[in-house]
């Protein structure tokens, strides 16, 4: 029997598919945390760490290749669930043509609170001349005013790692949240963040993954 979870994921993307749109998510990308911003906000804000792989996945869900191109999150509660409302955090692929298939480290200073995924866009190519864009937005990632795609929490003066975002290609191309497996792998990834953002205090990063039933599996580090 086909896994019902994958059927739901495929329907979620296909129902919100936007074909032929050049920029499915039009919001401006959020700025990475700078040393100046960090020093000014470290007592009130939290630091969110995540990786994103913007590279192509070849042979993805019946397509020649697919590529995650945008990702957005809301800070809850949202006063408006209109798809045009500005998200709290937005990430875009640096390119749609020449992106290495590797995970890139990101760090952001965010106000404390709960955040929910509000949009993502995927470019899926059948060939060089036939390209589709799949976009899921608030009209499918919220139900009865509540987020159904997944959430993460930010605490003041704390750094939290929420996962590695890429694609799943089992059926239709869709978003998927991955994670390092084990303390050693997690420690290696934290060293990468420390090298890219040397001004951040990452001595006690919390491993608290983006919580989702649709775009990833539960996982906790073994003490």
Contact between 214 and 142 under an 8 Å Cβ cutoff? The reply is no
Residue 221 lies in a domain: no
* Structural domains counted in the chain: 1
pTM of the complete model beyond 0.75 = yes
Q: Is residue 213 part of a domain?
A: no
Give the three-class secondary structure for 46: strand
pLDDT band (50, 70, 90) for residue 19: very low
Asked if the structure places residue 73 within a domain, the reply is yes
Identify the domain containing residue 95 by its residue range: 4-207
Q: Quote the tokens at residue 81.
A: 């669930």
Question: What value does the mean pLDDT take over residues 185-196?
Answer: 98
pLDDT in tens, 80-118: 899 999 999 999 999 877 788 999 999 999 999 999 999
Domain membership of residue 223 (yes or no) is no
Cα dihedral sign for 139, 7, 167, 63?
negative
Instruction: Tell me, yes or no, whether 31 lies in a domain.
Output: yes
Q: 15 pLDDT band (50/70/90 cuts)?
A: very low
Whether residue 218 is contained in a domain is answered as no
The answer to whether position 71 is within a domain reads yes
In a domain, 214, yes or no: no
pLDDT averaged over the chain? 89
Residue 210 pLDDT grade (very low, low, confident, very high; cuts 50, 70, 90): very high
């Amino acid at each position: 029997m086909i896994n019902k979870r994958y059927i739901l994921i495929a329907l979620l993307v296909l129902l919100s598919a936007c074909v032929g749109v050049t920029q499915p998510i039009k919001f401006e990308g959020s700025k990475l945390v700078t040393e100046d911003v960090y020093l000014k906000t470290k007592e009130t804000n939290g630091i969110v760490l995540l990786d994103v792989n913007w590279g192509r996945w070849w042979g993805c869900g019946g397509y020649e290749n697919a590529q995650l191109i945008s990702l957005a999150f809301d800070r809850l509660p949202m006063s408006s669930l209109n798809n045009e409302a500005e998200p709290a955090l937005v990430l875009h692929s640096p390119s749609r043509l020449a992106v290495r298939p590797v995970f890139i480290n990101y760090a952001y200073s965010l106000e404390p609170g709960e955040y929910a995924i509000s949009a993502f866009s995927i470019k899926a190519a059948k060939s060089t001349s036939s390209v589709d864009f799949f976009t899921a937005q608030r009209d499918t990632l919220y139900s009865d005013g509540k987020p159904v795609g997944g959430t993460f929490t930010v605490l003041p003066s704390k750094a939290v790692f929420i996962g590695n975002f890429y694609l799943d290609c089992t059926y239709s191309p869709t978003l998927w949240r991955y994670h390092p497996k084990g303390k050693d792998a997690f420690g290696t990834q934290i060293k990468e963040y420390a090298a890219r953002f040397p001004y951040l205090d990452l001595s006690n990063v919390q491993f608290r993954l983006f919580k989702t039933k649709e775009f990833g599996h539960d996982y906790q580090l073994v003490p």
